[in-house]
Structure 1
Amino acid sequence: MSSVFYTYLQLGFHHIFNLKAYDHMLFLFALCAIYTLSDWRKVLALVTSFTIGHSITLALSTFNIIKFDTGLIEFLIPVTIFITCVTNFFKLKGAASKQHTIFSMHNLMAIFFGLVHGMGFSNYLKALLGRNSDTWLQLLAFNVGIELGQLLIVFILLIVAALMLNLFNAKRRDWIMVLSSAAAGISLILMMETSIF
C-alpha cells in the first residue's frame, strides 16, 4: 500500500511540473504575486485552499459523480488566471499594506477556482488509475503530490520575488504589475486557443 501511495504522490508532484500543466503554474504565480517571503503562512494557507478546491472536483470527477465539457474547462482555467490577475491590479495598495481582508478574499477565490482546476486534473488522473487498486488511496496520494509540487513552485516564486525586491531594489508594486500583466497576457492567448473559439 505504501508503494502505491508513493507512486501516486510522485505522479501528482511531477504532473504539476509538467510543461503541459503550465497553466496551473501560471495560476499559482498570479495567485501569489501580491505576497512576499514574509507572508509564507498566508501563502501556505492560500495554496492549501486551492488544493482543497481542486481535490473536491477531482474526486467527484474520478468517481463519475460529475461530468463536464473538457473544452469548457480548458477555457475556464485561463479565465481563472485572468480574473486573478485583474484582482491583483485592483489590490496593489492593499497588497503593500498586507491587509487581512485581501488574504481572505484570495483564500475564497483560491478554493472556488480550485474547483475548476480539479476538473482539469481529472482526465490525467483517470488515465492513471488502476482498476483493481484502492482508488481513494491513489486519489489522496495524487493530491498530496500536487500540494507538495505547488508549495515548491510558490516557494521558488517567493525567493525570486525576494531577490528582485531586496537585491535589485525593484518596487513591490512594479513586481506585482509585471508578473500579473505577463500572466494575464498569456491567459488571454490560452483562452483564444481553446476549442470554444
Structure 2
Amino acid sequence: MLNEFRVYLELGFRHIADLAGYDHILFVVALAIPFGIRDWRRLAVLVTAFTLGHSLTLALATMRLVSVSSNVVETLIPATILFTALDAYTSATPQRPENPATVKRYGIALLFGLVHGLGFSSYLRALLGDEESIALPLLAFNVGLEMGQLVILSIVLTIGAALVPAILQRRRWVQILVGVTGGLALMLLVQRLRAWS
C-alpha cells in the first residue's frame, strides 16, 4: 500500500514537472507572475483555489462521473494559460486581499483548475487502466501534483527575488514572464485548434 502510494505520488510529480508536456508548468508560472517572494501567502491562497478546482475534476473524471472531450480540454488548457498571463500583465503587483479584483483572480484560478483537472485525469485514467480501487492512486497522484506545483512556484519566486530589483525592474520581469508564458500558450492554442480541422 505504501509502495503503491509512492509510485503514484512520483507519477503525479513527474507529470506536472514533465518538460515535454509543459502546458501545466506554464499555467503555474503564469499564476505566479504578479507575485514577489514576499507575497507567497497570497500566492499560496491562489494556488489553493487552483488545487481545489483540479482536485475536484481530477477525482470526478478519473472515476468516470464526468466526461469531456480530450480535444476540448487540450484546447482550453493553453487558453487558460494565455488568459492568466494577460491578466497578470495588468498588475505588476498583486492587489490587496479585500480588493474584488483579487477575489476575481481566485475565482478564475478555481475555474481554470477545473479545466486542468480534466487534463490530469486523462493521464491518470490511462495509468490506472481497469484497476478497481482508485482512491489511493488518486490521492497519491494529486499530492504528487501539488508537490510539483510548489517546486515550480519556489523556482519562479526565487529567480524573481534574485533578479528584481538587483538586475531587472519588477515591471520588466513581469513583461518577460508574460511574454514567455503567453507566447508559448498562444503557440499551443494555435496548434491545438489546427488539430481540430
- TM-score, normalised to structure 2, is 0.91
Residues 41-50 or 63-72, more deviating? 41-50
Q: Answer whether contact 1:82 1:184 (CA < 8 A) is retained.
A: yes
| Residue in structure 2 matching 1:99, options 92, 96, 108 | 96
Q: What is the correspondence of 1:1-197 to structure 2 with a 5 Å cutoff?
A: 1-92=1-92, 95=93, 98-100=95-97, 101=99, 102-129=101-128, 131-132=130-131, 134-168=133-167, 170-194=168-192, 195-196=195-196
- State the 1:50 CA deviation: 1.2
Which one has the bigger helix percentage? 1
- State the 1:19 CA deviation: 1.9
Q: Distance in 1 between matches of 2:104 and 2:174?
A: 17
- State the 1:150 CA deviation: 0.3
- State the 1:86 CA deviation: 1.5
- State the 1:130 CA deviation: 5.7
Q: Answer whether contact 2:53 2:113 (CA < 8 A) is retained.
A: yes
- State the 1:89 CA deviation: 2.0
Q: Distance in 1 between matches of 2:14 and 2:187?
A: 25
- State the 1:38 CA deviation: 0.7
Q: Distance in 1 between matches of 2:174 and 2:8?
A: 34
Structure 2 unaligned regions, length at least 5:
none
- State the 1:181 CA deviation: 1.9
Q: Answer whether contact 2:34 2:89 (CA < 8 A) is retained.
A: no
Residues 33-42 or 125-134, more deviating? 125-134
Identity of matched residues, %: 41
Q: Tell me the SS of whatever aligns to 2:76.
A: helix
- TM-score, normalised to structure 1, is 0.91
Q: Which amino acid aligns with 2:139?
A: L
- State the 1:152 CA deviation: 0.5
Q: Answer whether contact 2:10 2:144 (CA < 8 A) is retained.
A: yes
RMSD: 1.6
Q: Answer whether contact 1:85 1:180 (CA < 8 A) is retained.
A: yes
